[in-house]
Chain A
């Protein structure tokens, strides 16, 4: 019995250490060296814009936030772009908002009505694709706060690098809203500031859901978005990677698209379930198998990672507990604590990351935020684990409906939000689109 237990603890410890360190290694990609950090920004030079943009804005039951988003986007300082809000045929409230703005700006705004049923985000995007006149198609979400200087920078990046795809940064901002929002914000920070760059460098990238720009011809060439996939953004990235399309990831703290965290643990759980299930679908579709060997390995690990990662945090604790509470030799018990070193390291990086996040966005994290960061680690990890389990269960049962994330405008400054957050419309059915 002791021998079996010893073996289990030993193997678990080694596996967990390797797993945590790999995840951490990738998470910290941008800070690997000062030169890497320098390289992850947008092109800094001044360029005359040469491209035109079609900005897609799928919106479902988003009448609370859509108008502010649209009116802000219309102030973008680029000379050539159109905005295409996509609304459902059954969603009159949102449509009314979109039409109102379109009436004020007929030259810039074109409302597209999506008649598909059941509805989801990729279907909405594909419906709008034929209406895009720009050289480049960009995707945003209804609650996004887009920086007004973003398009010029993206334009310059396309020109400088000859990329087919440019992924800009997205940042959750309301780190003060709830116990989990702090961790959620940091997750985005690491993902867009750091991890995606590594993917771009190794030419396998699961794209983000918004602030993503694709040359129209390239997008039409791959047939737009996969309407059956819950992570259409990730899927698009994988398909473009397989075709060897060049993806540039650019993060500039001042140009990120600002978003809000899910408004409750329940929505967080639903959102994560959807992403994880989407990753599972992409994994099962198997298009990533067409990649060269090194990228295939990265693809396999990345698509698996939500599940691996979800359990690492919890497994580290369980493993250490097993080793202490049972009668394994003291050396093995000691070994079971080695993965905890990676956990502690990641926690300290989080604290430093929080400080840096605060500096970039003019927020000063207080002691209570650091406490939240530490105390929230295990519960947050538990939510992620639950979402991973739920995703597997739903996929196994064939439940593939969209569980939409609610938006209340918590990422905006008070006068920018058009409506009282509490009045956001509840979402009755697991359909709709936004991420």
Chain B
């Protein structure tokens, strides 16, 4: 059958947008962006100067005393070890990878380690991971500036946003550590920058989709930021090419994200099975299986304590950012940033599991909201007068300085000083010199790579403490290899993070508790709560047989 097309010369007019002035159109085609202020573009060197200074600032605050503070967290050790496994074993983890988190973050870390291994010689694996994190932070700082500019903030307020984020003790505390959220947040900002392409370039939206997929493949909680990027894309793609832009964004995002379940499928680990880990089980564990930390709004919950701890580090950035978010919704250009704060905050208020580094992805947007609203306020107060504007701006900056400098300077000092890593290295040195390398040593994650590098066997010679049972993971491979439970352990290195894990899960880690109970101290580094004890397990004749760990 044939369809006939109606050529309609009379009604055949289609709506076209008004003809652009040829000069302006040529400028657009040549890559210039439409400028709201109508002024001339500053020379490249001038435009680059401010971002360069900001990048230097971020790089400095993230590299000073790299290992001094904050104290190493277990998670950092986990990712450092998984990056090690990728380089040395070609696997996503040296234990069974059980889909606890998507792997892009430590894949990139592994790449960094390979690329810089010959040049940088970090004292510990975690220090190496933090060097990578400093790079990520620098990129993040630049992206905050760029996003600020694309949201039409003047240079100085865009720079202010970066400065607020870079110097807030709360941000600094979390962005100096190797958390997957840091990598994901950089990708998230990249996605928003690309979605705000001034030329509305089609492939910029495909790039935005790629970035947002990478953000989620770095840290799954960034799924909560999808509404923000979706809104930015919708807004950024206005015009006759919008359908294609949205198609480019969505298709790229979905198909790149699909690589993760595809990976699981290719390994035969997508759905639940009796003999293997699976993506589905891991998702179920993360969403429903984790012990709730309660709502931050309820008193005496772990979540409330965590939020209290955040606000203690810095009472200003997070609190002001969140409180000003409803106002930011009123300004179209700040709406995406407002969504990036509002949605995760709303979700975190429900009683559930609130991950510690959750705050990382909020802070850049808090900074942008504060800077954006400040810009709007100054514009409103000065009513177009440049002189008035400058005066108001100076007054605002002075007020900010008076409030922030005293409280932040001590916070920044606290974040960048400490000697936890020194004790760690001392303990590692002692173990390497005094414990035979064929012994089975149970450690927290931060020590693992360092001991393997010093000659201990990566295959069940050094073991992460939380793998001794199923208290906090779903990987059965280690527990199965230790049929005698705590009796199969020779040495336990008790660190502050191990003690806090034992304290936070009173019913958990039965084998580890038993091993510590039947052990004697070989060596102690430091004193008080920060001390590290190297303990030898000595099972007395009458000790009870180990209860067989079972998978929940």
Contact = CB atoms under 8 A, between A and B. Distances in A.
Which residue, A35, A254, A345, A361, has most C-beta atoms of chain B within 10 A? A35
Contacts, number: 116
A8 to B, nearest CB: 18
Interface string A245-272: 0000000011000100000000000000
Which residue, B201, B239, B266, has most C-beta atoms of chain A within 10 A? B266
Given A254-B12, A345-B248, A352-B243, A36 B29 contact: yes
Contact of A31 (B25, B244, B263): B244
A39 B202 contact: no
B7 A413 contact: yes
Given A330-B263, A341-B256, A356-B243, A33 B199 contact: yes
B309 interface: no
Contact of B255 (A32, A173, A341, A361): A341
B13 interface: yes
B59 to A, nearest CB: 32
Which residue, A41, A145, A352, A360, has most C-beta atoms of chain B within 10 A? A352
A174 B239 CA distance: 29
Interface stretch (B14-22, B121-129, B141-149, B362-370): B14-22
B53 interface: no
A41 B200 CA distance: 19
B500 interface: no
Given A345-B206, A348-B251, A362-B8, A334 B262 contact: yes
A38 B5 contact: no
Contacts of A147: 7, 9
A208 B14 CA distance: 25
B20 A35 contact: yes
Contact of B5 (A33, A41, A345, A363): A363
A411 B262 CA distance: 44
A148 interface: yes
Given A174-B2, A177-B1, A345-B255, A32 B7 contact: no
Nearest to A33: B199
Interface in B15-41: 16-17, 19-20, 25, 28-29
Interface size range of chain B in the complex: 35 or more
B252 interface: yes
Given A33-B28, A149-B9, A334-B259, A410 B2 contact: yes
B203 A411 contact: no
Interface string B110-139: 000000000000000000000000000000
A176 interface: yes
A34 B200 contact: yes
B481 interface: no
Given A38-B25, A349-B247, A352-B247, A176 B1 contact: yes
B244 A28 contact: yes
Contacts of B90: 329, 331
A368 interface: no
Contact of B266 (A28, A39, A330): A330
A352 B250 CA distance: 12
B548 interface: no
B6 interface: yes
Interface in A9-42: 25, 28, 31-39, 41
A344 B206 CA distance: 13
Give 3 nearest A-B pairs by CB, closest first.
Answer: A176-B3, A34-B239, A35-B28
